[in-house]
Structure 1
Amino acid sequence: MSCSAGVITVSDSVHAGVNEDKSGPLIQDILQTRGFERVVSAVAPDDEESIRASLKLILSLKVDCVFTTGGTGFGERDLTPEAISPLLERQAPGLVHLLLSSSLKHTPLAALSRQLAGTIGKTLVVTLPGSTKAVRENLDALLSNGVLDHALDLIKGGSGKVVHAALGSGHTPIVGQEHACGHHHHPGCVAPKPRTALSHDPSVPAPGRLRVSPYPMINLKDALDIIMTEIQSLEVVTLPITAGLAGHVLAEDVRAPQDIPSSKTTNVDGYAVRSTDTPGVYNVLTSRTHKLSEELPEGSIFRINTGGPLPAASDSVIMVEDTELESTLKDPDGEDAEEEQVKTLAQVSPGENVREPGSDVRKGDLVMQMGEVITSAGGEVGTLAFVGRKEVKVVRKPVVALLSTGNELLDLQSPKPMPGDGWGGIWDTNRPSLQAALEGMGYKVIDLGIVADHVDAHVRAVSKGLETADILLTTGGTSMGASDLLKPVIERRFNGTIHFGRVAIKPGKPTTFASIPTKVAPHDRKYLFALPGNPTAAIVTFHIFVVPALRKLGAWLTNKCQLPRVQVQLENAMPLDPRVELHRVIVRSTPKGLLATTTGGQRSSRVTSLCGANGLVQLPPLAVGGPSKLEAGEFAQAIMIGEIQI
């Protein structure tokens, strides 16, 4: 019997990317060393709703046990017990006693830990403290003498005979005995790999290759859930306040260091006056003829531009439009050089057209919160500059390595004649189109070029991608052909884990998401998306899967990682497929609402179906006894990949 587990780190700072998650990866490492074949993870902030949502997500992935870490103490934000307790169907107080007693051997402070254990359906849930020391102590207690294995065996419906027999004979059941997770532990043994490679062996001749994909077909929602669960955000960096901040997520709260404005300033172009000054003719002073610290003399007004400070003794500003030029000063050539006197046409009220100190922002005010996205619209960068910040802490944006696979491909910019019978090959469409999309979103792209259908070429390209980027994006080589090498290379040459290899969508069924262990990454692994080779399928799956992954790496809030969805009315009938179909459309705003028009034929190789498309209508799968199409005039959800047209 194989076992799987989920790990949830509960921490505001880890969720925001401010601090590194140490306890979550430690639990994963310990469980994988003990032979768990699948370990998924999530990070939740310290609030009950988010913790419960993360737990329900992990439970939906059908794991045998879930460990949380953090939020079990007496702090104001320690809410893990409150979040999880209502969900437990059967309490396990004996396990809690075991955990506390093991920790109390090391410190009396363990008595302050409010831990829980119990079952939800066929899944065991255990809450652990947040420190790595306590995590080790607790897991050691659970894993010693087969306690966890025996519990999982019983929860799964087993009899526990093996463990009882071993205990009755006086032997420790975990040595030389197979237990609930179907693995053995012997002194000096090497821990098994987290999963067995499912891909075909590239060294086997073509007739011996797999004819049916060994990877289970999963639905769109589950695929997105897996991505959100597996991917963890990158590290925090400090960057200067420039346009390059666009797309980053704040990793700190930003507060105003001083009142803004710091003194009285004007919000119009005009003249600083005393509100007691009646309409009449006044001498004009400027910053070159009068110091701001000196009181404005009687009979004079002070010329001032929008945003400028008022001189002492003035309390109002009259607009230029409410004055007339009375006389000017001449230059040596007799030409008008400067205003000498101006006639005011109105009397202004105290404080008119004046911004008081601190009227925009008070010292200490929170102007931007940790977790906010700095957009390219300019408002966030402007706010940071407005309060005088020269640099700010943000979560680093991922660098993307991009490559295409296939002997048949030609580089548009440097084509090389193809050897053979005169067939000219096909242009590599995917790299330039994906690079345009990525750079348009502000991501740095490392172009690894076209990779030949040879294992060594794939290994070199993936190795370079792991060295230079945070996430690898490939197209082609994901299906069932003898030369489709990405899955075998990931599993067999890089010891990677393929989290899913097929998704029930059209286009994009062979979309693959994997992680590869490496010591040069913040979480000791990097991620890879192997997208289909058909150009339209590559672009569609990029928007559906890769964009959320890039945003999650950059610490965007989970509910903002996917592209926005809107309700549209169909202007054309759209046939349904047994899979969820993502139909390319043009979405327009009209007096009747948002209308979606098809871009024509939807074959996955037809790139022109994406030309001008700004939306993907998500069509439901064809159901037995249901309609064969959505009719014109019906409503559906569209995923927006571009701006809505007018």
Structure 2
Amino acid sequence: MSGIRVGILTGTLVSDTASRDHTADKSGPTIKAILEDQRLECKEYAIVPDEEDEVRRVVQDWCQGAVVDLLVTTGGTGFGTRDRTPEAITPLLEREAPGLVHLILSSSLKRTPFAALSRPIAGTIKDTLVLTLPGSVKAVRENLEALIANGVLAHAVDLIRGGSGSDVHTQLSSSSSGSSTQPAHHHHHHHHHDGHAHSIPRTRTNNPLSADPSSNVPARQRVSPYPMVSVKDALVLILQEIQTLKPQELPVNSNLRGCVLAEDVIAISQIPPTPTSNVDGYALRSTNEPGVYDVLTEYSEVLPEGNVICRVNTGGAIPQGADAVIMVEDTQVHSTEIDSAGQQEEKQVRTLAQIPPGENVRQSGSDVRVGDIVMEKGQVIAGAGGEIGTLAFVGRTKVNVHPKPVVGLLSTGNELRDLNGTNTHGTTWDTNRPSLQVALEAMGYEVVDLGIVPDDLTSHVKALQQGLSSTDILITTGGTSMGTSDLLKPAIEHSLNGTVHFGRVNVKPGKPTTFAMVPTPGGRNESVPVFALPGNPASALVTFNVFVVPALRKLGGYTGERCHLPRIRVKVIDLPLPLLQDQMRLDPRPEYHRVVIVSEHEGLKAYSTGGQRSSRVASLAGANGLVALPQKRDDGPALLDVGEMAEAVLIGELHMRF
């Protein structure tokens, strides 16, 4: 049976204990040992909490993604109130296998009549065979022995994968009849997906999870087929999938603000090229004693011999022969004359001090020498002016940078009405496009406005294709839930051959946030990231700052933690009790609470902006931060206490109050 990929899922009955203590799961390792002894490859192993949604999520993920050929669950098939594995998996089965169910039951009934209380199911989901076994080690061994005997299991998998069964028959005829089905007595390492042992999220294949948009409305999905991912895993997937834009040589001007250098900037000449003055004054020889000197008011490359000094300004070159500069403040006008323009001019000055060699002189190359690296690859050209000034300082007129991505922006929904009057039939003002556009342009990004897209598949595909051909990243809002008019995921997967890497995030607000990659062969880039944000205004802006900004920065050449907006520690200030109870109550999902962060004498304090309903965009008016509230635990507090410190994402400038 070599070549068969297996996924093992420890299901409901034992998972309450097993998910807290992996050593409590005995049946999962038993299955793994028996199947590996038959030369099957155990690709996945997971323990999930005792809930239908969690069991269904893992099963969908493994089967829809073609991760395994055989999926075996253990536990949750009895008559207990929490035995829900059959209920979780049955709706997913495309073809049931009653014969395998009969084989499983009959093998156990030979040993105990209590096997009649088991409710196993079997069948196929896509190209994966799914079997549900009891939770006891004894029953698992008995069932697997019956399934493996005479090649039943291998034959079934071979047929599901499109084989004729001939390989299995050949293998059976040549194999030993005494093959052991007992587990090997050695230690195994397991790959857990239960949240207790974190692993890097897997990239999805482009097998669609969304429903075919051409199917009848009554047949549409009632529960999202997309696994719920954590914020952490969502960000890992985003930065893992998105590739930085290729470098370009661009002019050195203000448009470089926000770009990332794609080269080391190396000085090709020394600065200053010749000795220059640090002050306004007169270049002279350090041997000149205090006294009266003739003044050269025009620059001369060479200081003449004799009783002569040369007037210089700050930054001006020092003539050869001079080795010091005396400040204007250390001189007096001795005599004047009328120059050719009829203006009174200095003729002689009196120096009041003797100046040591090198005084007030910037030596050649004292700021930058030839070959010095003045700016490093990966440095961000900020808007404060220092980086542009440095490039100008060394004479660079062009520089290689990762360009800022061009952003496509569209809203979806027949109900939306455009502020500019192009769509007057809707009943709700389109809030998301204007708010996201101003946020993007404030960050220095060019925005292509793709307008409002009506709720039909053709319009969705046309608008997305336009954005894919003209931008580096697409942001959409609305159309990400489970309604009949929520067409973004189907359009991406079924019409554009895109891959939805996640379609639900365990976060509040923003649960239906979606991230996909769409191939664009022959286009601006090999593929274009697409973010489908929720339609509620506050949700759209929060998820934009949490998920889209890191994507924009990764495209633009940012690396590591710099892809994310700054995070700071703030103190939740003393709000009136009713407001605190209403607005800072912890939720089962991690939540981003909109706040105004103020720098005061005592430190940084966070003031809630009030009601946090996802449709209430006013909660973001004036907000410059998002306090990251932890999810509520059964054994934890229900509120974030006044005076507690919390982490906040900084999305705007700090306010000051002293």
CA contact (8 A) 1:3 1:63 kept: no
How many Å separate the matches in 2 of 1:595 and 1:621?
21
Residue in 2 aligned with 1:386?
393
Change in Cα spacing, 1:621 to 1:271, as seen in structure 2 (3 Å) is: same
Cα deviation 1:482-531 (Å, max 9, x = unaligned) = 11110110011101100000101111111100011111346621110001
Shift of 1:479: 0.9
Residue in 2 aligned with 1:286?
297
Cα deviation 1:427-476 (Å, max 9, x = unaligned) = 11111111111111111111111111111111110010011001101011
Shift of 1:229: 0.6
Q: Identity of counterpart residues, as a percentage?
A: 56
Shift of 1:240: 1.6
Pair 1:303-2:314 in alignment? no
Shift of 1:205: 3.9
Q: TM-score, normalised by structure 2?
A: 0.67
Change in Cα spacing, 1:315 to 1:162, as seen in structure 2 (3 Å) is: farther
Letter in 2 for 1:330: I
Residue in 2 aligned with 1:213?
224
Pair 1:621-2:631 in alignment? yes
How many Å separate the matches in 2 of 1:643 and 1:63?
47
Which of 622, 625, 630 is equivalent to 1:612? Answer: 622
How many Å separate the matches in 2 of 1:396 and 1:2?
43
Residue in 2 aligned with 1:9?
none
Pair 1:586-2:596 in alignment? yes
Shift of 1:617: 0.5
Shift of 1:347: 2.3
Shift of 1:534: 0.9
Pair 1:397-2:404 in alignment? yes
How many Å separate the matches in 2 of 1:623 and 1:527?
34
Cα deviation 1:593-644 (Å, max 9, x = unaligned) = 1111111111111111111111110000011021111111000000101111
How many Å separate the matches in 2 of 1:532 and 1:613?
19
CA contact (8 A) 2:469 2:523 kept: no
The equivalences for 1:319-338 within 5 A come to 319-330=327-338, 336-338=343-345
The equivalences for 1:478-627 within 5 A come to 478-521=480-523, 524-571=526-573, 572=575, 573=580, 574-627=584-637
Residue in 1 aligned with 2:366?
359
CA contact (8 A) 1:260 1:362 kept: yes
CA contact (8 A) 2:292 2:351 kept: yes
Shift of 1:252: 1.4
Change in Cα spacing, 1:337 to 1:368, as seen in structure 2 (3 Å) is: same
Residue in 2 aligned with 1:274?
285
Letter in 1 for 2:300: K
Change in Cα spacing, 1:608 to 1:314, as seen in structure 2 (3 Å) is: same
Which of 214, 223, 241 is equivalent to 1:230? Answer: 241
How many Å separate the matches in 2 of 1:271 and 1:233?
53
CA contact (8 A) 1:548 1:563 kept: yes
CA contact (8 A) 1:328 1:336 kept: no
CA contact (8 A) 2:206 2:497 kept: no
Moved more, 364-373 or 221-230: 364-373
Shift of 1:582: 0.4
SS in 2 for 1:463: helix
Change in Cα spacing, 1:432 to 1:300, as seen in structure 2 (3 Å) is: same
How many Å separate the matches in 2 of 1:254 and 1:162?
66
Which of 418, 423, 434 is equivalent to 1:411? Answer: 418
How many Å separate the matches in 1 of 2:613 and 2:258?
33
CA contact (8 A) 1:470 1:521 kept: no
Which of 197, 201, 219 is equivalent to 2:212? Answer: 201
Shift of 1:199: 1.3
CA contact (8 A) 1:296 1:314 kept: no
How many Å separate the matches in 1 of 2:206 and 2:339?
87
Change in Cα spacing, 1:603 to 1:327, as seen in structure 2 (3 Å) is: farther
Pair 1:254-2:265 in alignment? yes
Change in Cα spacing, 1:570 to 1:283, as seen in structure 2 (3 Å) is: same
How many Å separate the matches in 1 of 2:213 and 2:600?
54
CA contact (8 A) 1:589 1:595 kept: yes
CA contact (8 A) 1:329 1:337 kept: yes
How many Å separate the matches in 1 of 2:643 and 2:317?
59
Change in Cα spacing, 1:206 to 1:296, as seen in structure 2 (3 Å) is: farther
Residue in 2 aligned with 1:317?
325
How many Å separate the matches in 1 of 2:170 and 2:206?
28
CA contact (8 A) 1:296 1:312 kept: no
Shift of 1:553: 0.9
The equivalences for 1:51-450 within 5 A come to 194-287=205-298, 290-292=299-301, 294-330=302-338, 336-414=343-421, 416-418=423-425, 425-450=427-452
How many Å separate the matches in 2 of 1:543 and 1:520?
31
How many Å separate the matches in 2 of 1:265 and 1:304?
9
* Aligned pairs, number: 467
CA contact (8 A) 1:435 1:445 kept: yes
How many Å separate the matches in 1 of 2:465 and 2:66?
32
Change in Cα spacing, 1:501 to 1:326, as seen in structure 2 (3 Å) is: same
Change in Cα spacing, 1:500 to 1:544, as seen in structure 2 (3 Å) is: same
Shift of 1:325: 2.7
Letter in 2 for 1:305: N
Moved more, 576-585 or 342-351: 342-351
How many Å separate the matches in 1 of 2:589 and 2:67?
29
How many Å separate the matches in 1 of 2:423 and 2:238?
38
Moved more, 493-502 or 295-304: 295-304
Shift of 1:291: 2.4
Instruction: Report the RMSD for the aligned CA atoms in angstroms.
Output: 2.8
How many Å separate the matches in 2 of 1:238 and 1:330?
53
Cα deviation 1:538-586 (Å, max 9, x = unaligned) = 1111111111001111121122100010111111442111111101111
SS in 2 for 1:321: helix
CA contact (8 A) 1:568 1:637 kept: yes
Shift of 1:63: 12
SS in 1 for 2:501: strand
Unaligned runs of 5+ in 1: 5-37, 39-61, 66-149, 154-160, 171-192, 419-423
SS in 2 for 1:630: coil
How many Å separate the matches in 2 of 1:619 and 1:416?
38
How many Å separate the matches in 2 of 1:224 and 1:534?
21
CA contact (8 A) 2:206 2:493 kept: no
Residue in 2 aligned with 1:55?
none
Change in Cα spacing, 1:328 to 1:3, as seen in structure 2 (3 Å) is: farther
Unaligned runs of 5+ in 2: 8-42, 44-64, 69-153, 158-164, 175-203
Change in Cα spacing, 1:450 to 1:393, as seen in structure 2 (3 Å) is: same
Shift of 1:314: 0.8
Shift of 1:2: 6.8
Shift of 1:218: 0.7
Larger radius of gyration: 2
CA contact (8 A) 1:235 1:522 kept: no
How many Å separate the matches in 2 of 1:310 and 1:459?
68
